[in-house]
Structure 1
Amino acid sequence: MTNGTNAPTALTRRDTLRLASLFAASTLAGDLIGGSAAHAATPGTLVVAAPGTPQSLDNEFDGSLGTIDAIGQLYDSLVAYKKIPDPKVPGVLRENIVDDPSLPGDADLEGRLAESWEVAPDGMMLRLRLRKGVKSNWGNELTAEDVKWTWDRKFALNAIGGFQVGLMDLASPDAVKVEDRYTVSFHPTHPNPIMLKIQTHRYANIFDSTKCKEMATAEDPWARKFLESNSAGFGPYSLKSLVRGQQAVFTARPDYYLGKPAIDTIIYKEVPTSATRTALLQGGAVDIAQALQPLEIKQLGKAPGVKIETVDASSMMWIILNAKVAPFDKPEVRQAMNYAFPRDAVIASVFQNIASPMKGCMPSIYPGYSDAFDQYSLDLDKAKALLAEAGLPDGFKVEIAYNAGDPVQEPIALLFQSSLRKIGVELVLRKVPAGTYFNEVSAKKLPMLFFVDAPWTADPVFALRLYFYSKSFVDYSNYANPKVDEMIEAGSQMTDLAKRTELMLEIQKIVMADAPWVFVASPNFTMARRDKVEGFTYYTSNSINFADFSVKA
């Protein structure tokens, strides 16, 4: 669920910028990026400059941006949110994630692989009826057995899918039942209010079990080796080729059940540095440039032939405060760190106002969110008083780790360091290589680390349980509040939307006061593309679906 990438480069920044100019300005570009420059901004081909190619095509084991994008093209989910116009940016669509208690699962959904669904009033059953005649990229028809095998695999591998199993409250594989060839049902142990919403998750895609079983072996019964570099799905594109570190090529499926996508070929290029991706887009060698830095986005906003659209998003950046490492075992110290954080300066200078201050502990765009419990405007006197209350009137020394692969983290850390110095706290900066950074986060041992993430299911139960439930593997702050755990467990079984929303607000109030994070920013999602490319739709997974796009001739 973290949009990180491991894409090292031996080039210096100066060399990279020179190379970018050559890419954009000379006929050499076509050779250097595999001939894609000749096809950029044409109706048949879309060229994307991304930080990295898919590290794996198996959604159980990788959450990098390249993998997230690839999963969305090769696979499909059972249901999806309906789309509505973005309220702030004309011409952009986004998912309608507003809760609607008049609808099954409180969600405004449309069918994908499923054509209809029903949720039992007591929250003890979800039934989905599949479309008939849907074929995978291998030509096998979708059946309920594919859904069953997909969830059996989640149980067996107990990786990313294991978290989904837990949220669905499924006791065993027997809780997923094949009722007939085209009907499947889920039976949680307790009432479950979000089991339908979980089916919208980017990684709730369905596998072609016929092909996977064909490729499985006794040593590899779940076809892990095959699915790491190949696809077996029902999505709009198939994989033509994948050369990790270079590019992935996707081709539109003429037999896709929702109709052949408008763009025939997607060339997904690995371009490790943001500066190079910026130059390639500006020069016209690529059609879309992903994951650009704020100053580069500002620069591209003035470039001819380039279109920039930035929208409110689910992504959040925070600083982990490890509650098991002194002095962050004291809530007063964690609160003091928030009062000393120069949030407004970070938004203005580092993010160039292409972000919002983070005023809550879940995405601000999600239903049930509230900023009413934010109390952490910059107040150094308050911060010093809290440190004295915690027995640290002279401050302390602490290390903060930041990701070398994310250029905004170091300047944020430097601003924070300067502010903390005024209250007697010495912040020591430690740069961690991008390839090993997540290992440091998941180890849960360092006192302070930057983290960027988004909960992909647009629901407060999902978001709050992901980060603040002490039994969650994503509780990287080692935060443990028995009352919060009890309330999260209760909310996970509460089918009454109004009561559940009220309970989730109380959890947000407690978490904000406990301050397991320094609440940094909610970065916008920015689509940077050539102006001939149309069809941008924002998804809470902060990734793109190539089938949405078309290119003007």
Structure 2
Amino acid sequence: MTQPDSPVPAPILSARGEGIMNSAFGRRRFIAGGLSGLGLLALAACGGGGAGAASGGGGGGNRSLVVAVPALAPTLDGVVGGGGLTLESFEMNANLQAGLVRNPYITGKTENTVVQDFNTYVGYVAESYEVSPDGLTYTFHLRPGLTSPLGNAITADDVLWSFERKWNTPTYSKTVWQGGFAGPQAISKVDDRTVAFTLTNAGFGLTFLGLLANLQGHIYDSTALKQHATGADPYALEWAKANGGWGLGPYHVTAQTPDQEMVLTANPNYAYGAPAIGQVTLRVVGDAGTRASLVASGDVDMAEGIRPTDQARLANNDAVVVPEADPIEYVDLTLVTNKAPFDDERVRKAMALAVPYEQIMQQIYAGRAVQMVGNINPNTRNYDVSQLPKPSSDVARAKALLAEAGHDRIAYTLSVSTATQDLVDACVLVQSYAREAGFDITIDQKTAADFSTMRNNATGQAIIYRNRSQVQTPTYACTIFWKPNNDASNPSRWQDASAARFWEVVNRAQAIPDPLSPEAGPLWLEAQKILVDSSPEIFVCSIQPSQIFRTDVGGFTYRSENAIDFGNITILDA
């Protein structure tokens, strides 16, 4: 399938909010594998990316954007450089970095917005990719003539060195790859523009693409980083924390004042063409209400971290857009199962029935939340979320389960970060409503750092926080949060008989080469039924995007990490 060989402009969104679909780049090649899902993946690589393949540039670059943000990323090196799992670091990754592939963008629910299509992947740093018949080898063909913002050519050697840097950096999380990819030794250079990755498990392929596209798989300008390497710091981690230009995303940082302001300048060599917005200024405004007011007054173009109550207040303001999507960020009430009282599944089920779901969605999130059923994206192909039991409040049933477990009342401590006021408020509602069901809850407010430590070490009894799957595949959603052997990514430490049944089903699903096939869908559903019934984590609700923007801002993208892709933003002419 032949596509234009030159970059195409950014999607211009019509007055009806429809993305004008632009073709992807180059030739999309694939080896037919006889596997429906892999065939679909290959077709995604072949058939253009819609608005997503066209993210980036109107090319003018003479427009600027001012964004009010709660904070700035502590480092420009994102997750690899120890930036932490924060929105600010994710946003740096989304705008300063680029992977071999990405999820394409498709028309969103709100006019002039787009969302990621989590079922497919298109070329990014790579112009195309192909999958071997057995589903184990993914071969990527880099875009010809691609350079970094610093002007250095990007070749297969940069891909190999980027993964070497990841694997040899202590702060990088390698465990997420272990389901089917062994690391740098599983990558081979075919020629200067071609690299091949070999997997150990064909069923891991979709998640492998997701990891390349979201959070984990960025490709770096190794020439620039090597120039600033030292014997003590062979991968230039310290230099990269404060210096830009070595990533391949739509922007690079050209100025910053710590804790105050950061200036992003468009990358003229960006894979999808120079972004329409030439300069983005991130300005720290600590108060959420003030950030909202600045957008309403027109003093800034966009704002992040807006309270749902302020979003609801501005929803009828003709100058402001409050976006909506099928949300994937959710309120997660995690019960630590390796100690009392939640080592008893009946007590966990009772707690799930004692949560005031509807009241939290209406009173805390001002109606900007939706019911959540399990943690697999309901838009996943061949997955029918309607067959899962919906969460509900039932005081009488909760009390009966406690009595069955031999308890009249249960006292426990629910921990929450002070950095998430909405969740502190939600705790108060849970405490009030659960009391009638037989739970006496003490709310423990912790600093963000102390809360993170408690979550990782599972030292508390229960925690509540915002969660999401960075990779929106059923494999990732079903494996990342419940790893055995007390892994830090398993904050519930769920390892009982129900967990064993859950993993038995998940492993059967993972053995199917195509995780989106009709054969895999019922297995993911069966695993989710076990998870929801056992209740190591209670999925309270999914919450809408936390950004707002002026009505002349187009191309807002709802992404898996809740960061804005400024490379897809345009200014709409009146």
Note whether the superposition's TM-score is higher than 0.5.
Answer: yes
Partner of 2:388: 373
Identity rate, percent: 27
Partner of 1:74: 96
Is 1:85 aligned with 2:99?
A: no
2:279 aligned to which of 240, 246, 265: 265
Name the SS of the counterpart of 2:174 in structure 1: helix
Q: Where does structure 2 lack aligned partners over 5 or more consecutive residues?
A: 1-60
Report the Cα offset of residue 284 of structure 1.
Answer: 1.8
Report the Cα offset of residue 89 of structure 1.
Answer: 2.9
Q: Which moved more, 1:179-188 or 1:238-247?
A: 238-247
Name the SS of the counterpart of 1:324 in structure 2: coil
Distance 1:424 1:197 in 2: 43
Distance 1:330 1:299 in 2: 43
| Structure 1 residue identity aligned to 2:187 | V
Query: Where in structure 1 do 4 or more consecutive aligned residues deviate above 6 Å?
Result: none
Partner of 1:143: 155
Report the Cα offset of residue 172 of structure 1.
Answer: 4.4
Partner of 2:235: 222
Name the SS of the counterpart of 1:499 in structure 2: coil
Partner of 2:63: 44
**1:286-301 mapped onto 2 (5 Å cutoff):** 286-301=300-315
Name the SS of the counterpart of 2:445 in structure 1: strand
Partner of 2:140: 128
> Structure 2 vs 1, CA of residues 83 and 235 (structure 1 numbering), >3 Å: closer, same or farther?
same
**1:41-440 mapped onto 2 (5 Å cutoff):** 44-58=63-77, 59-60=79-80, 61=82, 62-86=84-108, 88-98=109-119, 107=120, 109-157=121-169, 159-167=171-179, 169-191=180-202, 192-194=204-206, 195-231=208-244, 232-367=246-381, 368=383, 370-392=385-407, 394-440=408-454
Is 1:483 aligned with 2:501?
A: yes
Report the Cα offset of residue 110 of structure 1.
Answer: 2.2
Report the Cα offset of residue 490 of structure 1.
Answer: 4.0
Name the SS of the counterpart of 2:178 in structure 1: helix
1:470 aligned to which of 454, 461, 484: 484
| Structure 2 residue identity aligned to 1:193 | G
Taking structure 1 as the reference length, the TM-score comes to 0.86
Name the SS of the counterpart of 2:513 in structure 1: coil
Alpha carbons 2:65, 2:279 under 8 Å: kept = yes
> Structure 2 vs 1, CA of residues 366 and 96 (structure 1 numbering), >3 Å: closer, same or farther?
same
Distance 2:430 2:483 in 1: 28
Residues 494-541 of structure 1, C-alpha deviations (whole Å, 9 max, x = no match):
203333322211111111111011221100114411122122222222
Name the SS of the counterpart of 2:476 in structure 1: helix
Alpha carbons 1:322, 1:448 under 8 Å: kept = yes
| Structure 1 residue identity aligned to 2:201 | H
| Structure 2 residue identity aligned to 1:309 | P
| Structure 1 residue identity aligned to 2:464 | F
| Structure 2 residue identity aligned to 1:547 | G
Alpha carbons 1:313, 1:540 under 8 Å: kept = no
| Structure 2 residue identity aligned to 1:125 | T
Report the Cα offset of residue 375 of structure 1.
Answer: 4.8
Residues 99-143 of structure 1, C-alpha deviations (whole Å, 9 max, x = no match):
xxxxxxxx3x32211111111232211111111111112211111
Report the Cα offset of residue 384 of structure 1.
Answer: 0.5
Distance 1:123 1:175 in 2: 14
Name the SS of the counterpart of 1:451 in structure 2: strand
Aligned residues: 500
Report the Cα offset of residue 51 of structure 1.
Answer: 1.4
Taking structure 2 as the reference length, the TM-score comes to 0.83
Q: Where does structure 1 lack aligned partners over 5 or more consecutive residues?
A: 1-41, 99-106
> Structure 2 vs 1, CA of residues 487 and 211 (structure 1 numbering), >3 Å: closer, same or farther?
farther
Residues 151-171 of structure 1, C-alpha deviations (whole Å, 9 max, x = no match):
12222225444134324x223
Partner of 1:32: none
Name the SS of the counterpart of 2:433 in structure 1: helix
Report the Cα offset of residue 369 of structure 1.
Answer: 6.0
Alpha carbons 1:43, 1:551 under 8 Å: kept = no
Distance 2:231 2:510 in 1: 37
Distance 1:473 1:433 in 2: 19
Distance 1:141 1:178 in 2: 16
Report the Cα offset of residue 304 of structure 1.
Answer: 4.6
Partner of 2:57: none
Report the Cα offset of residue 469 of structure 1.
Answer: 2.8
